Chains A and B, each alone.
Chain A
């Protein structure tokens, strides 16, 4: 039964058919997790943490609130300030979204369920994630507003500072896996062994716990989530670089921010939690008939979604728990603590890689 079902899925498709399918799935992979986590965590979880109910009116248990918000934003007037730089102002949200959609390209959801299996994998992801800074700077400058410009400058300064620990934290994983390729990193964790014991593989969170910590902190800062939200500090800058945006363009910034949170959680799941893989001893029990790779194309996305939800939970938990860093604390934390720690982590990993 299982084998016939799995093999019946192995249909051959033409190149254009897979391309259209991949294009549609890219939107699914970006928008569905974003909508899900925004409702689950941003609307509901924070409400419970603050002893209130959150949205309850739209749909059962307020579950259609997000559609109402999108509809509201879509029908609002698209205002461009009189003195703004028209073209740059309008293009900025697209640049931010472009970075989000390029990021999801290299995330593997199963042995074959991947948009583009680049050899440079994680390096590509880190490179395109920095494009969003350009969009933020464009928005901050083109708005012709002091608040926006200050927000844009703060964002750029912060993202430059936290880009480095983000990249350096990944280097430890890359040294251990011996490859930049995302599928290679996943299989290194599934096939890995801890002192000859391979029942749960070797998820890199065990050996790279320092890297995981640095990565999650840097992600929090890259997303300008709350302890690091100086760029959009609402009490002093109104809304930072987004101040002058309204309607659909504001919604695009919003989607860009929260969808990128999910995709960074996907990346962290691949780098530190074994990606789409399940522990080998479970896989041996379930897929003894040898259809492992076919089944993992179906189960993999669900495994990834589970790990993503767990990691995104941490992001939002921190977001709603800690007060905002001051600008100088924020810079000091990156340059004087995270980067030296990341460098020490790389040195230790390299040393152990050679010794062991």
Chain B
């Protein structure tokens, strides 16, 4: 971590230092939280570590100037999805203390897939941004810009996503129906 920061010696002003330093701090929190999430022996602890990871990702969005996305991340992932997940876990199996049968024999295949994912993602990010650094004097993107983009440039993917969510909603109703 400190080695990586030392390599950032090309950074000129304090703003860049702060932005990049915070990015590494958030990344470290996210990575540690993710590791603890898969290694912990308690389902609720795993869910709480996932919360830490998602908050760190929200922090990263703030550093990138995407205020609206960060707030959405908090509202949807922390406030709704994680609460529902915790709710479900606590209703079904929420033992205090460690559990023995949380491990799985296919964990090495899982680790392999994760490593492959990491390689592909790192490569593509490296290709796209290479030596670019976070500028220090970034103004956050206004919500109005985001909404203008969604309803002009990205209207087709937006509508497609809406239809997908509608399909999921109807599917849930069909599955939950008793008759």
Stretch from A121-129, A207-215, A247-255, A265-273 that touches the partner: A121-129
Are A128 and B74 in contact, CB atoms less than 8 angstroms apart?
yes
Determine if B83 is an interface residue (Cβ-Cβ < 8 Å). yes
* Extra A-B contacts (15), CB below 8 Å, given A130-B74, A149-B94: A85-B44, A119-B142, A123-B75, A124-B71, A127-B71, A128-B74, A130-B79, A131-B78, A137-B86, A137-B87, A138-B48, A141-B90, A142-B96, A156-B83, A180-B143
Asked if B2 lies at the interface with its beta carbon under 8 angstroms from chain A, I say no
Complex interface residues of chain A between 147 and 175 (CB less than 8 A to chain B): 149, 152-153, 156-157, 159-160, 163
Considering the complex, which residues of chain A in the window 111-146 have a beta carbon less than 8 Å from any beta carbon of chain B?
118-120, 123-124, 126-128, 130-131, 133-134, 137-138, 140-142, 144
Docked pose: A130 CA to B142 CA in angstroms? 23
* A133 and B79 in contact, given A120-B67, A120-B71, A153-B91 (Cβ under 8 angstroms): yes
Q: CB-nearest residue of chain A relative to B70?
A: A120
State whether the Cβ of A199 lies closer than 8 Å to any Cβ in chain B. Answer: no
Count A-B pairs with CB separation below 8 Å: 81
**B82 near A: Cβ within 8 Å?**
yes
For B, the interface residue count at a CB cutoff of 8 angstroms equals: 26
Instruction: Identify the closest chain A residue to B141 (Cβ).
Output: A119
With an 8 A cutoff between CB atoms, is A314 at the interface? no
Bound-state CA distance A325–B80 (Å) is: 24
**Could you tell me if B140 and A119 are in contact, using CB atoms closer than 8 angstroms?**
yes
Q: Which residues of A contact B78 (CB under 8 A)?
A: 127, 130-131, 134
- Tell yes or no: A83 within 8 A of B by CB: yes
A84 at the interface (CB under 8 A from B): yes
* Known contacts A119-B142, A137-B83, A160-B83; A88 and B90 CB within 8 A of each other: no
B interface, over-half SS: helix
Bound state CA distance, A188 and B96, in angstroms?
Answer: 51
Residues of B within 8 A of A141 (CB): 44, 86, 90, 94, 96
Closest to A149 in B: B90
Of residues 46 through 93 on chain B, the ones whose CB sits less than 8 Å from some CB of chain A are 48, 51, 67-68, 71-72, 74-75, 78-80, 82-84, 86-87, 90-91
Interface residues on A, range: 20 to 34
Q: What 0/1 pattern do residues 139 to 161 of B give for CB contact below 8 A with A?
A: 01011000000000000000000
Residues on B with beta carbons closer than 8 Å to the beta carbon of A163: 79-80
Q: Is the CB of B87 within 8 A of A157?
A: yes
Q: What's the nearest-Cβ distance from chain B to residue A15, in Å?
A: 12
A interface vs B, CB < 8 Å?
A: 83-85, 88, 118-120, 123-124, 126-128, 130-131, 133-134, 137-138, 140-142, 144, 149, 152-153, 156-157, 159-160, 163, 179-180
Interface contact B48-A126, CB-CB below 8 Å: no
Q: CA–CA, A134 to B84, complex, Å?
A: 10
A160 touches B91 (CB 8 A): no
Complex contacts, B83 vs chain A, CB 8 Å: 130, 133-134, 137, 156, 159-160
Max chain A CB contacts within 10 Å: which of B45, B48, B78? B48
